[in-house]
Amino acid sequence: MTRFAADSTTLRWGVLGATSYISTHVMPGIARTPGCELSAVASRPERAAAAAEVGRSFGATVHPDYGTLLADDALDAVYIPLPNSDHVDWTLRALAAGKHVLVEKPMAMTENDCVRIEKAAEAASRTVMEAFMYRFHPQQRRTAELLASGEIGELRVVRASFAFGIESGSGNIRLEPSLGGGATWDVGCYAVDVPLLFFGHVPQTVSARFSRRPGIDVETSAVATMDFGQGRSAVVDYSIDYGPRSYYELQGTRGSITVRNAWAMEGEDGVITVLTHDGIREETIPSANHYQLQVAAFAEAVRDNVLAPMSLADSRNTARVGASLVASAAADGANIATTGDATVVP
């Protein structure tokens, strides 16, 4: 089976949803990537005007709804930045329509749904990748190099922390339970991914404590610990209540590596601090458009029919641990606290 739907060496993309953040950050990354073309966009019918505007700005075809876009034979790949609750369903529909799929994080909120996607991708001979853009920032490669160099010794503890505040009453999908809202599946899945990435496997046990802002029906902050066995552990915290925090740290037997702007925006440099008995030093990693690098890596995986750099096994593990945190917090009623003000300063 051909890897491209259209008779072309260009990967032609369609996008489901004309969301404002995505159209100003991720879509330009698709449009600018050599060998890729942002060819089509669709909104829900009631938001046709938004799709028309985004389509005009990229010179892309505008389809009347998501299903019609998937039926467009000229498209090879779709990017899915819908609410979390819709990721699994639209990924499966896109695969059934013969498209390669780049789906926003979280790909799914259960391990079982990840397995369904994996099987569907295999059956359709199509590539699926979860959009964990931070993995494509050059500072991640540098951090992995530093760890592999042995300078900080053997990895023992990973700490990761990701926070930004969302206003109550903003209508944000992150505050809506029916749309897969909650801090865990928004910022939390990034923080959870870090220890899995560096330890290379899932933890043996997890323990989570969630907090919820008054009047909000999803968890808005969390602190969790994970036991990776052999004296190795992780501590993660994440929040959609607090001011910005974007950091992770690798603690080794001889020192530590701190990534101080782990989920950097485009245009922001990475800053890495290495602390050992020999002293402290800082490295600045020049900014790069990780959205564009992510699209380029995905396109390469499609073209060469090789494993995507964010593999489906990685996605399965992240979903499994995220779901375990939710289960851990729910298992003990005493763990679920209600704290904080109703208003969050963004």
Ligand X SMILES: NC(=O)c1ccc[n+]([C@@H]2O[C@H](COP(=O)([O-])OP(=O)(O)OC[C@H]3O[C@@H](n4cnc5c(N)ncnc54)[C@H](OP(=O)(O)O)[C@@H]3O)[C@@H](O)[C@H]2O)c1
Between residues 31 and 133, which has the closer beta carbon with respect to ligand X? 133
> Is the Cβ of residue 21 or residue 279 nearer to ligand X in the bound state?
21
Say how far apart CA 159 and CA 174 lie, in whole Å: 24
| DSSP string for residues in 289-314 | -HHHHHHHHHHHHHHHT---SS-HHH
Q: Rounded to an integer, what distance in angstroms lies between the CA atom of residue 123 and that of residue 128?
A: 12
Are 95 and 121 within 8 A, CB to CB? yes
Q: For ligand X, which is the closer residue by CB, 209 or 290?
A: 290
In the set 12, 100, 105, 212, the catalytic residue is 105
Whether 119 is catalytic is no
* Shortest Cβ 228–ligand X spacing (Å): 26
Query: And the tokens for 281?
Result: 């030093």
Distance, CA of 76 to CA of 55 (rounded, Å): 17
Give whichever of 84 and 256 is closer to ligand X, judged by the CB atom. 84
Q: How far is the CB of 261 from ligand X (least distance, A)?
A: 14
**Residue 152 CB, nearest approach to ligand X (Å):** 29
Between 265 and 307, name the residue whose CB sits nearer to ligand X: 265
The smaller minimum CB distance to ligand X, of residues 101 and 274, is found at 101
- Distance separating alpha carbons of residues 12 and 244, to the nearest angstrom: 36
Minimum CB separation of residue 174 from ligand X in Å reads: 7
Task: Give the DSSP H or E segment for 95.
Answer: helix 87-96
Q: How far is the CB of 153 from ligand X (least distance, A)?
A: 33
Residues forming contacts to ligand X in the complex (CB under 6 A) are 17-22, 43-44, 47, 50-51, 81-84, 86, 104-105, 131, 133, 173, 179, 186
Smallest separation (angstroms) from ligand X to the CB of 114: 15
Beta carbons within 8 Å of 127's beta carbon, 6+ residues apart: 3, 100, 101, 121, 298, 301, 302, 305, 308
**Placement of tokens 């953040």 in the chain:** 21
Q: Which amino acid is at 346?
A: P
What's the half-sphere exposure (Cβ side, CA atoms, 13 Å) at 293? 17
The three-state (H, E, C) secondary structure of 195-207, written as one string = HHHHHCCCCCEEE
Active site residues: 105
